[in-house]
Amino acid sequence: MFVSLDGVRLAYPSDYGEVLALDGLTMGIEEGEFAAVVGPSGCGKSSLMRLATGLHLPQSGAIRVADKPVTGPLSITGMAFQNPSLLPWRTTLANVMLPLEIVRPHRRRLKHERTAYTQKAEDLLSLVGLEGFGARFPWQLSGGMQQRANLCRALIHDPVLLMLDEPFGALDAFTREELWAVMQDLHAQKRFTVILVTHDLREAIYLADKIFVMSARPGRIISEHRVPFPRPRPMDITYEREFVDLVQELRGEIADARKEVA
């Protein structure tokens, strides 16, 4: 397993006492696999993201990424959130290149090989359909374009693991589908491992190889589904019988998980 969480428990203090976010969570993802995590709201999906990137350490259980136990922030990961969080004082290109100023060994090489790195960032921008927008400031871009740039920033340092926390959640339906296609192409081309946290079941099935369903808090994995559809997947597939059946099945499981709390 490339990413493995084994019996993970995470609790954090809050104003109402200690909140148990995850308990007994076990999951495994192969290298190059596209995994999606779905579940009722507040089930600790975002805590999962913070654990797998090493931003938080669990109280108990083991987390391994790329055959090493996770003990702190992992610079081999890239992250993108629902909020594009681009820095408004930097151009789009400079925003995309920000991780290169942080991550070793790029931060040492950046000064001498700026042209090569700039070219790389521009290539990535054109890959997501933002060719020629590098000199614009983020606030001059539409929401969909900002999210494309955000994906580029998450990928510029060639991470082997990409963590996506509802990155398309705030976009309109058409832009969202456009970005699903962009995401699928990026994954086909670069073959990184992905963990996508989402509320959107169509999104999860369209993009993922494997889907994990989480229970209500404290979160653990209650079921695991393989998505059988061959790649590349056309957008029309989302309206076909088998696809819709899978959506219904997942819906049912999440509805049951919600009932348990209520």
Residues 6+ apart with CB under 8 A from 55: 73
CB of 107 to other proteins, least distance (A): 9
Q: Are the CB atoms for 97 and 121 separated by under 8 Å?
A: yes
Q: CB-wise, 50 or 217, nearer to other proteins?
A: 50
CA-closest candidate to residue 258, choices 61, 42, 36: 42
Own/partner contacts of 109-118, CB < 8 Å, gap of 24 or more, are 118/93
CA 175 vs CA 133, 167, 168, 179, 249: distances in Å: 17, 12, 8, 6, 26
CB of 91 to other proteins, least distance (A): 10
Q: CB-wise, 53 or 215, nearer to other proteins?
A: 53
Q: Which residues bind other proteins (CB under 8 A)?
A: 50, 53-55, 72-75, 77, 79, 81, 83, 85, 87-89, 98-99, 101-104, 137, 139-140, 153, 157
Q: CB-wise, 83 or 118, nearer to other proteins?
A: 83
Q: CB-wise, 102 or 261, nearer to other proteins?
A: 102
CA 135 vs CA 101, 138, 193: distances in Å: 18, 9, 30
Rg for the chain, CA atoms, rounded: 19
Q: CB-wise, 27 or 51, nearer to other proteins?
A: 51
- The DSSP symbol for 218 reads S
3-state class percentages of the chain: helix first, strand second, coil last, to nearest 5:
40, 25, 35
CB of 76 to other proteins, least distance (A): 10
CB of 86 to other proteins, least distance (A): 9
CB of 125 to other proteins, least distance (A): 18
CB of 144 to other proteins, least distance (A): 15
Q: CB-wise, 54 or 169, nearer to other proteins?
A: 54
Cα 216 off chain centre by: 20
Q: Could you tell me whether strands 210-214 and 34-38 are parallel, antiparallel, or unpaired per DSSP bridges?
A: parallel
Q: CB-wise, 63 or 74, nearer to other proteins?
A: 74
Q: What is the CB neighbour count within 10 angstroms for residue 90?
A: 14
CB of 98 to other proteins, least distance (A): 7
Per DSSP, the three-state class of 140 is helix
